[in-house]
């Protein structure tokens, strides 16, 4: 996915905000990605062919809008990879692991399904003893609030929460269920 960094910068506009009110115009994508409009146009064409975004034509005399193709499995997969990558590259996973020494760190909820929005938080479960840590520094780095659930005994969690955690993405360690 990261073979072409400029293409990734264009895709990142949609990964950061998959549900803008109207969509993005080419020049706006250029501003956000810090790329020239001609380059943006080329990468948008590639992303359209790949099924990651959709183009909305608004008639003659109007510039087209581009939106994330949230129905696409490819887009949701890219969104999951993006979330996991952000957590690792920001140092969040290592900080949690070094501070709490959990058996497992698991991303769950909308981010683990590739369905998170700009204002969504990142839900993380840590299987360890309760301890308070501050994640403000890392929340600023990734631009999202991090909701941390800490519980050593997995069996004490509600059935619905257990199901969400089990279907999440393992970031580090392994989950002890029995």
Q: Give CA–CA dist 54/75, Å, rounded.
A: 11
CB atoms within 10 A of CB 12: 14
Hunting for tokens 């479960």 — which residue is that?
125
Could you give the percent of the chain with pLDDT greater than 90?
91
pTM exceeds cut of 0.75: yes
Position 3 pLDDT exceeds 60: no
Mean pLDDT of 76-97: 98
Mean pLDDT of 77-90: 97
Q: What is the DSSP letter of 55?
A: E
Element (H, E) at 87: helix 73-89
Query: φ, ψ for residue 78 (rounded to 5)?
Result: -60, -40
pLDDT interval class at 62 (50, 70, 90)? confident
Give the three-state DSSP class for 107. strand
What is the tens place of the pLDDT at every residue in 121-164?
Answer: 999 999 999 999 999 999 999 999 999 999 999 999 999 999 99
Position 2 pLDDT exceeds 70: no
CA atoms in the 13 A half-sphere facing the CB of 112: 17
Element (H, E) at 67: strand 65-68
pLDDT interval class at 44 (50, 70, 90)? very high
Question: What's the pLDDT at 20?
Answer: 86
- Which position has the higher pLDDT, 117 or 4? 117
Token couple for 175:
């989950």
Nearest to 110 by CA among 153, 141, 144: 144
Q: In what order do the strands lie in the sheet with 122-126?
A: 146-150, 122-126, 104-108, 169-173
Could you give the percent of the chain with pLDDT greater than 70?
98
Average predicted confidence (pLDDT) for the chain:
95
Question: What's the pLDDT at 177?
Answer: 84
Percentage helix, strand, coil for the chain under 3-state DSSP, each rounded to 5: 45, 15, 40
Question: What's the pLDDT at 58?
Answer: 80
Q: Give CA–CA dist 149/87, Å, rounded.
A: 16
Question: What's the pLDDT at 64?
Answer: 95
Position 79 pLDDT exceeds 50: yes
Question: What's the pLDDT at 1?
Answer: 44
């Amino acid at each position: 996915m990261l073979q072409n960094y400029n293409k990734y910068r264009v895709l990142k506009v949609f990964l950061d905000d998959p549900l803008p009110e109207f969509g993005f115009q080419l020049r706006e994508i250029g501003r956000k990605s810090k790329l020239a409009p001609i380059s943006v146009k080329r990468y948008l064409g590639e992303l359209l062919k790949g099924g990651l975004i959709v183009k909305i034509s608004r008639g003659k005399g109007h510039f087209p809008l581009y939106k994330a193709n949230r129905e696409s499995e490819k887009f949701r997969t890219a969104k999951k990879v993006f979330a996991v990558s952000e957590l690792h590259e920001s140092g969040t996973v290592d900080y949690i692991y070094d501070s709490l020494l959990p058996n497992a760190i698991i991303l769950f909820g909308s981010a683990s399904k590739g369905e998170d929005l700009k204002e969504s938080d990142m839900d993380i479960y840590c299987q360890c003893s309760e301890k308070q840590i501050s994640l403000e520094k890392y929340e600023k780095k990734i631009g999202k609030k991090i909701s941390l659930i800490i519980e050593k005994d997995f069996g004490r969690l509600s059935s619905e929460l257990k199901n969400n955690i089990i279907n999440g993405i393992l970031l580090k360690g392994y989950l002890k269920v029995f």
